[in-house]
Amino acid sequence: MDAVTDLLRRDPERALSQMLGAYTGLVYHAAAAVLGRSSHEEIEECVNDAFLVIYKSRDRLDFSQGSVKAYLCATARNLAINRLKKREGAQEVSLDEFVSSPSEQTESAALRNLEAEELVNAVLALGEPDSKIILYRYYFDLPSKQIAKLLGTQPNTIDQRLRRALGKLNRLSKGGNRNDE
């Protein structure tokens, strides 16, 4: 269990403040990836709701299955998908229903969420800045130039780190069951 997760259990208000400071940008990008960058108000509502969902659900979430960061991103993404359904006239799921009965999601959406969570956890295990680079590139679909600007480096550095990080993920997936010492 990481420090934020532990703090979320012991001092939820302080943890919420830390989470807002550390993860708001990332959670914003998770919602924006679904809703499009022109929907600022909707994105901000999804971001606020994602933090509220995690805060309210803190005692029911299994943080051994994913970090606070992963839960926040997945929740923001799911809330954004819910907003898209509302736009398209499909029946919207209320925030309370979303928190209390996530099993009502379609089977395919639930499978996608589980796979996404597992992938995010594997990427986060790479550490900084590799995890950010992979998330920005493949989850948020940002080009190297924009990632470089966000991280304060050069695009060719981003490309090199990306290749190395993908290599690490590949090696981990092939040798994940071995006990290399």
pLDDT at 103 over 50: no
Q: Which pLDDT tens digit goes with each residue over 5-33?
A: 888 888 989 999 999 988 898 888 888 87
Tell me what the pLDDT averaged over the chain comes to.
76
Encoded tokens for 37: 């960058």
Q: What domains can be seen in the chain, in order of their start residue?
A: 1-109 (1.10.1740.10), 125-181 (1.10.10)
* Residue 88: per-residue pLDDT: 62
Q: Where are the alpha helices (DSSP H) in 58-154?
A: 68-87, 95-100, 107-124, 130-134, 144-151
Query: Quick one: which of 97, 52, 102, 96 has its CA closest to 76?
Result: 52
More confident position, 88 or 35: 35
Asked whether the whole model's pTM tops 0.85, one would answer: no
Does 158 score more than 90 pLDDT? yes
As a whole number, mean pLDDT of residues 32-59 equals: 86
pLDDT tens-digit series, residues 60-98: 888 777 788 888 888 888 888 888 777 666 444 444 444
Burial of residue 48, with CB atoms counted within 10 A of its CB: 0-12 exposed, 13-18 middle, 19 or more buried: middle
Query: What is the pLDDT, as a whole number, of residue 175?
Result: 61
- Calculate mean pLDDT across residues 102-121: 50
Average pLDDT (32-55) is 86
Nearest in space to 54 (alpha carbons), one of 27, 32, 33: 27
Lookup result for tokens 């550490």: 127
* Average pLDDT, integer, range 23-50: 85
If pLDDT is split at 50, 70 and 90, which confidence band does 163 have? very high
**Helix, coil or strand: residue 54:** helix
Return the higher-pLDDT residue of 100 and 133.
Answer: 133
Answer yes or no: is pLDDT of 47 > 90: yes
Q: Which is more confident, 144 or 5?
A: 144
